[in-house]
């Protein structure tokens, strides 16, 4: 029941937006005080402390799950304090998911199972549960060390993630203190706990995990309906454009320039969802020879984008300039694919290395990066995105299915088959859904 109550907070977390850097210090203090409070209880009353640690960990996992959904769509969370203390950068890296599911949801299931064991440790037939808790929390701490190393490589820290790492250490400490009081030795207690407690704990954790996945899918809007090739599978797939689409003829083109259908994508090289979308759109063009793709830069960072009010993706502006310089040399798609495929390595040195591997002339590339012209080209793309009134990346638009009317294509990285089916229906003149009006453009 507690897990169900926690999951009701997910829509709130999903809708969380940044309230400005001034909230950063208060947030840091609040998180630190919460973890310290748990630590005090663990040291004084380990039985109650482990229960509290599991509960607070579950709350953090709920927030991180919702924030992951928001950030993957281009939004931001309240815990982006700077380019270093940046939850979104960490919580949208390739290590933030396992099999397409946020690791925070796995963490939520873990805390549900640990909470069950912590309750059992208070007595009754489950009095040997601390032995199993030691094993579970030790495994969690080991995985946290891996995540901490990857966070270090990213050059960013997620304070909510770090809080869960500390809570897992506290769970381990509390579990060890409780296990130290077991009779008959740790091995014997672990054997009895595996028989009596492992099954129910796994059921509790799995139930909460599955429920969490269902809630996320309902909030995300990318349900299993995308798998069907026709009929209602196109529902919600197209929207009217808030603003208007303006092209200047400098856009890199992939596919036949005279193709019947035109896709325009606004993307950010540091946006994880854009990285997932890039190979999908490439495959769509391979499957549909009458489709061409035009690319527009829309880096989500205040360094070059005046419509972004924070340091969100610190490497994105330079990556966009690099893409423009690659375009000048006729190597745009080669470098673009390399950057989307290596989003954790977008430092200037990394990009120069990728550019050389893509066959881009080194001296001209460096001169282009230093030239105001490359920055101006990126800013012109950004202005185009503002005119189209996009509110995140990737933003994909389609021309050709509704005559000369542009529509926004609401598709994700798992929608490749559905995109092909939609294009086939448009090609064959079959009825298409009426584009719906989008939500008002956020002020």
The length of the chain in residues reads: 443
Task: Express as a percent the part of the chain with pLDDT over 70.
Answer: 86
What pLDDT digit, counting tens, does each position of 366-399 carry? 999 999 999 999 999 999 999 999 988 999 999 9
pLDDT higher for 10 or 158?
Answer: 158
Structural domains present in the chain: 2-220 (1.20.1440.130), 224-427 (3.40.30.10)
Give percent of the chain above pLDDT 90: 58
In the numeric block, the tokens 């001034």 are attached to 22
* Local confidence band at 218 (pLDDT 50, 70, 90 cut-offs): confident
Of residues 384 and 272, which shows the higher confidence score? 384
113 alpha-carbon distance from chain centroid: 25
- Phi then psi for residue 195, to 5 deg, are -75, -45
What does the block give as tokens for 69? 């959904």
Tell me: the pLDDT tens digits for 87-136? 777 877 778 888 888 899 999 999 999 999 999 887 644 578 888 999 99
Least confident of 184-188, 408-412, 426-430: 184-188
How far apart (Å, rounded) are the C-alpha atoms in residues 195 and 282?
51
Which residue do the tokens 């509790």 mark? 204
* 1 vs 324: which has the higher pLDDT: 324
Q: Which two tokens stand for residue 362?
A: 């080194």
Q: What is the pLDDT of residues 63-72, one digit of tens each?
A: 888 887 776 6
CB contact at 8 A, 44 and 64: no
Report the DSSP pairing between strands 395-400 and 261-267. antiparallel
Is pLDDT at 360 greater than 70 in this prediction? yes
Phi, psi at 243, each rounded to 5°: -105, -120
Instruction: Centre a 10 Å sphere on the Cβ of residue 8 and count the other Cβ atoms it contains.
Output: 10
Q: Is 236 exposed, middle or buried (0-12, 13-18, 19+ CB in 10 A)?
A: middle
CB atoms under 10 Å from CB of 244, counted, come to 10
Report pLDDT digits (tens) over 298-330: 999 999 999 988 788 899 999 999 999 999 999
- Residue 88 is predicted with a pLDDT of 72
């Amino acid at each position: 029941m507690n897990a169900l109550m926690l999951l009701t907070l997910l829509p709130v977390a999903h809708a969380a937006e940044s309230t400005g850097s001034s909230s950063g210090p208060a947030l840091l203090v609040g998180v630190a005080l919460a973890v310290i409070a748990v630590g005090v209880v663990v040291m004084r009353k380990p039985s109650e402390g482990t229960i509290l640690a599991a509960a607070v960990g579950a709350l953090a996992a709920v927030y991180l799950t919702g924030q992951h959904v928001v950030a993957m769509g281009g939004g931001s969370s309240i815990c982006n304090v700077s380019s270093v203390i940046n939850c979104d950068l960490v919580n949208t890296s390739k290590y933030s998911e396992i099999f397409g599911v946020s690791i925070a949801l796995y963490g939520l299931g873990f805390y549900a199972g640990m909470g069950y064991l912590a309750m059992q440790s208070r007595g009754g037939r489950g009095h040997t549960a601390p032995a199993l808790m030691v094993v579970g929390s030790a495994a969690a701490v080991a995985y946290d060390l891996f995540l901490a190393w990857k966070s270090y490589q990213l050059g960013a820290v997620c304070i909510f993630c770090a809080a869960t790492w500390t809570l897992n250490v506290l769970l381990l400490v509390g579990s060890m203190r409780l296990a130290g009081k077991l009779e008959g030795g740790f091995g014997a207690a672990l054997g009895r706990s595996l028989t009596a407690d492992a099954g129910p704990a796994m059921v509790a954790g799995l139930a909460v995990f599955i429920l969490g996945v269902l809630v996320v899918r309902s909030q995300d809007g990318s349900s299993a309906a995308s798998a069907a090739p026709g009929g209602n599978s196109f529902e919600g797939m197209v929207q009217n454009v808030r603003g208007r689409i303006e092209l200047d003829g400098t856009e890199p083109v992939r596919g036949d320039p005279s193709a019947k259908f035109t896709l325009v994508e606004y993307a950010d090289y540091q946006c994880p969802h854009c990285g997932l979308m890039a190979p999908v759109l490439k495959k769509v063009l391979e499957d549909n020879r009458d489709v061409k793709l035009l690319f527009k830069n829309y880096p989500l960072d205040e360094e070059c984008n005046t419509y972004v009010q924070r340091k969100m993706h610190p490497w994105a502006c330079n990556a966009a300039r690099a893409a423009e310089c690659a375009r000048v040399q006729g190597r745009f798609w080669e470098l673009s694919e390399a950057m989307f495929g290596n989003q954790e390595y977008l430092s200037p040195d990394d990009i120069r290395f990728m550019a050389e591997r893509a066959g881009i002339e080194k001296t001209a590339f460096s001169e282009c990066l230093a030239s105001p012209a490359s920055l101006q080209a990126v800013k012109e793309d950004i202005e185009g995105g503002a005119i189209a009134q996009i509110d995140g990346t990737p933003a994909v638009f389609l021309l050709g299915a509704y005559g000369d009317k542009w529509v926004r294509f609401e598709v994700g990285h798992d929608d490749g088959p559905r995109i092909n089916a939609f294009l086939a229906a448009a090609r064959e003149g079959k009825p298409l859904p009426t584009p719906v009006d989008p939500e008002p453009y956020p002020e």
